[in-house]
Structure 1
Amino acid sequence: VTNASAAKSDNNVFTRLTEKGPFYPPRVETILEMITYGPLPPDKLQQVKDKIAEFADTFALSVREVKPVDFMTFRLNIPKDVEYPTKVNQKPLTQVQKEWYLSVLDEFDKAGVMRDIRSDEVKAAHPTVLAQKAH
């Protein structure tokens, strides 16, 4: 479980794909701070933190730190004559949901995993459903 807002406040920790690398001490420290640990004796907790630090290169603090791969492709095999709805009756989002959602979309846009398109390029649309956390 992580708290992404803590990492967003300091862009200097997003070094996984830079010269500083994934083991840059402030980045590793941020990863260790963002993880929620269960009740462990101090020696076991330190072992867990040491293991996390050892594998810091497997953690991404942001979608910007995820490496694109060229060995996988994803294609939807949709027949050309199939038409999908292009207008959506979106359930209104609360202000908190809207703020969170727009920040995620901005992050995806900055990371290059999403781009704006013209309205005539829309092939299908579906309402956004934000999953509820189980408590």
Structure 2
Amino acid sequence: MEIKRRGTVPTRRVPASYFTGTVWQDPIIEAPEPARLRAVVVMFEPGARTAWHTHPLGQTLYVTAGTGRFQTFGEPIQTIGAGDVIWIPPGEKHWHGAGPETIMTHIAMQEAKDGVAVDWLEHVSEAEYAKA
């Protein structure tokens, strides 16, 4: 058993190579093998978002605060808000982030396959983001 006490794992700003805008992460867990669970709290400032990406074993998002956007490739942008739960199947190309004037915070949960929990792709352009 391991207990990580509040405040012992620092909040980190995520790299611009995978996100547009200012995004913060608080790690929840990266379980050691043979477990595969990885989870983080992610806070997106207004207009911030992920790049397009996929997950080899899927992903679940639980929106805890604010209003944001979610899009699966080739489908319309969806507005998401506190209390929404989004299941993204394995291999589905998607992005998620804050609205243009609002923050959005979610818990992102995914499992790793052979140590990989996410495959990052190209950035979401301003034109793609503005289509909402």
TM-score by length of 2: 0.19
Q: Which structure: greater strand fraction?
A: 2
Higher relative contact order, structure no. (Cα contacts within 8 Å, ≥ 6 residues apart): 2
Bigger radius of gyration among the two: 1
